[in-house]
A and B are shown apart, each in its own frame.
Chain A
């Protein structure tokens, strides 16, 4: 983990955003099924971006003990700062939805959220391969060599996914549902190979440990 306190702050903000979005969809002054669907997909898409970033950085990057690691602290603080900004923007947008007068259209909001998510993916993806090795939770421990290889591949995947997200957000037709669909496809294309490789590495590391114990 980057740092337990950073990841908890981010998780708390993501959960509050989720609750606020669901409350807006269920009880908010939204008229008609299509509008409700759009609001729902918009809210879910925005939240999933942050859920993905949180999942990635809290589970994959390392354990929080070594607070002297300035790079890790820097990444953690940037993560919290960006999440707070998105949180504030999201809550502001949802509040104006309740009043029935959002300052920008749904599609503009979706594009804005996805462009920022893409930029954040690029920023964090670029940094991830530079993070030093730390022992992490036993169930996802892969050892230093595989950790660096995994972070390098993960960083590249994240940067490519970020670029694809920005391009999709700017170039695709103005339909929130298609944008969210494309976003989910990009996120899956980023996460699935990474998690598969991580699973292979975890197994290989466990085999090594068992072989060492039995020798």
Chain B
């Protein structure tokens, strides 16, 4: 559960989950929504995968990510959104991953 809280504590990762709620997306499609370097975004994906919140599927050369939230995790994410937690993309000044 710590991994889930860690993953949901960051606005960029929550935004990724929000995007994946609409439909499964490739890493490239998700990257279009963020002014972040590829390695930074990959690190966010790794944290989300580690928390088992997203699932990568290989389609040829592309990796498509899909949401893999339990009902509780889904509710936590909705809670974070509903109560006005800032979901705007706000990377740390140093670019490091929280």
B49 within 8 A of A: no
Q: A107-151: which have CB < 8 Å to B? A: 125-130, 132, 145, 148
Q: Which residues of B contact A127 (CB under 8 A)?
A: 70
How many of chain B's residues have a CB under 8 angstroms from any CB in A? 12
A152 within 8 A of B: yes
Q: When the two chains form their complex, are residues B69 and A130 in contact, meaning their CB atoms are under 8 A apart?
A: yes
A198 within 8 A of B: no
Q: When the two chains form their complex, are residues B70 and A130 in contact, meaning their CB atoms are under 8 A apart?
A: yes
A156 within 8 A of B: yes
Q: When the two chains form their complex, are residues B71 and A132 in contact, meaning their CB atoms are under 8 A apart?
A: no
User: In the assembled complex, how far is the CB of residue A196 from the closest CB belonging to chain B, in whole angstroms?
Assistant: 20
Residue of B nearest to A158 (CB): B71
A159 within 8 A of B: yes
How many cross-chain pairs have Cβ atoms below 8 Å apart between A and B?
Answer: 28
- A129-B70 in contact given A145-B23, A145-B24 (Cβ < 8 Å): yes
Q: When the two chains form their complex, are residues B71 and A126 in contact, meaning their CB atoms are under 8 A apart?
A: yes
How many of chain A's residues have a CB under 8 angstroms from any CB in B? 13
User: In the assembled complex, how far is the CB of residue A157 from the closest CB belonging to chain B, in whole angstroms?
Assistant: 10
Main secondary structure of the interface of A (DSSP, over half): helix
B68 within 8 A of A: yes
Q: Which residues of A contact B68 (CB under 8 A)?
A: 129-130, 132
User: In the assembled complex, how far is the CB of residue B3 from the closest CB belonging to chain A, in whole angstroms?
Assistant: 14
Q: Which residues of A contact B10 (CB under 8 A)?
A: none
User: In the assembled complex, how far is the CB of residue A72 from the closest CB belonging to chain B, in whole angstroms?
Assistant: 13
Q: Which residues of B contact A128 (CB under 8 A)?
A: 71
Residue of B nearest to A132 (CB): B55
- A126-B72 in contact given A145-B23, A145-B24, A148-B66 (Cβ < 8 Å): yes
Q: B57-87: which have CB < 8 Å to A? A: 66-72, 74
Give bound CA distance, A148 to B66, whole Å: 9
A45 within 8 A of B: no
Q: When the two chains form their complex, are residues B24 and A155 in contact, meaning their CB atoms are under 8 A apart?
A: no
* Choice from A145, A148, A159 contacting B71 with Cβ under 8 Å: A159
Which interface residue of B52, B66, B71 has the most chain A CB atoms within 10 A?
B71
The 5 sampled A-B contact pairs (Cβ below 8 Å) are: A130-B68, A132-B68, A145-B23, A155-B71, A159-B71
18 additional A-B residue pairs with CB within 8 Å, beyond A145-B23, A155-B70: A126-B71, A126-B72, A127-B70, A128-B71, A129-B69, A129-B71, A129-B74, A130-B52, A130-B68, A130-B69, A132-B55, A132-B68, A148-B66, A148-B67, A152-B69, A152-B74, A155-B71, A156-B74
